[in-house]
Amino acid sequence: MRPFDHVHGIDDLKSLSALTTGYSFLHGTYNAIEKAYDGYLKKFGTPQLVAVGLTGDQRNCMHKAYEGGAKKYGLNWIPKLRELMLGSCPMCGNSAIGTVEHYLPKTYFPEFTVFSWNLVPSCNTCNQKRGSKHVNGVAHHLLHPIFDKSILGRLKLVTRFKSSSTVTQYELGFNDVAFSADDRGRIMAHIEMCVDRRAFNLSTNVQISKITARLAKKDISLWKSVIQDELIIMDDANVGYGWEASCLRGLLDVDVMQLRCILVSKLLQ
Q: State residue 267's pLDDT score.
A: 53
pLDDT in tens, 153-210: 999 999 999 876 567 789 999 999 999 999 999 999 999 999 999 999 999 999 999 9
Q: State residue 171's pLDDT score.
A: 94
Q: Which among 23, 32, 70, 68 has a CA at the least distance from the CA of 51?
A: 32
Q: Which among 195, 140, 143, 138 has a CA at the least distance from the CA of 170?
A: 195
**Residue 60, number of CB atoms within 10 A of its CB:** 14
Three-state DSSP state, 105: coil
User: Beta strands 157-163 and 168-174: pairing type?
Assistant: antiparallel
Question: For the chain, which residues make up each domain, given as ranges?
Answer: 12-130, 155-268
- pLDDT under 50: residue ranges of the chain: 268
Q: State residue 266's pLDDT score.
A: 57
Helix (H) or strand (E) holding 163: strand 157-163
Q: Vertex 43, ends 42 and 45: CA angle to 5°?
A: 110
Our measurement of the distance from residue 165's CA atom to the centroid of its chain's CA atoms, rounded to an integer in Å, reads 34
Q: State residue 164's pLDDT score.
A: 66
Contact 4, 146 (CB under 8 A): yes
Q: How far is CA 95 from CA 42, 67, 123, 226, 249, in A?
A: 31, 24, 8, 22, 16
